[in-house]
Amino acid sequence: MEIFYLEKKMKNATSLPSIVGVYWSSRDMDGFFIGNHHLITFVYESEAQAKRVTEKWNIEYFSEVNDEDLTVYYSTMGAGKEDGTNCIRIKFSPDADRQSIHEIAKEDNAGYFSSD
């Protein structure tokens, strides 16, 4: 099995089987660019699989279109502080995680000041 970075392959993928998988991912911390937030990214083999998996776990899936006009279906999972408490909870596909996937989907989606 070839190990690769999702951020390098996602932009140019022409089929979902070429990038389907589970990835250990990281992005800049919320609100501050120093430090990394780690998360798991699930890339599904089809929209049908995305629906089947996310319905079972009562979570959402999302999609991005890459530079090759391929629609990629995904979810993310990471830990974060629960609002109003000091508890750490598992969070699925928060806005910042989805923004990081958006930024790697197309070359033009990221800029110098973006949190990519």
State the total domains in the chain. 1
- Residue 72: which domain range? 6-108
The most confident of 35-49, 50-64, 88-102, by mean pLDDT: 50-64
pTM tops 0.95, yes or no: no
The confidence score (pLDDT) of residue 3 equals 61
Q: Is residue 1 part of a domain?
A: no
- The secondary element (H helix, E strand) that includes residue 70 is none
Q: Is residue 19 part of a domain?
A: yes
Q: Is residue 73 part of a domain?
A: yes
With a cut of 90, say whether residue 4 has pLDDT above it.
Answer: no
Q: Is residue 114 part of a domain?
A: no
Instruction: Collect all residues with Cβ–Cβ distance below 8 Å to 73 and sequence separation of at least 6.
Output: 16, 43, 44, 46, 47, 49, 50, 61, 62, 63
Q: Is residue 116 part of a domain?
A: no
Radius of gyration, CA atoms only, the chain: 14
Summarize pLDDT for 13-41 with one digit per residue, the tens: 999 999 999 998 877 666 666 767 777 89
The confidence score (pLDDT) of residue 115 equals 52
Q: Which of 86, 85, 81, 93 is nearest to 25 (CA)?
A: 93
Averaged pLDDT of the chain: 85
The span from the CA of 77 to the CA of 93, in Å, is 6
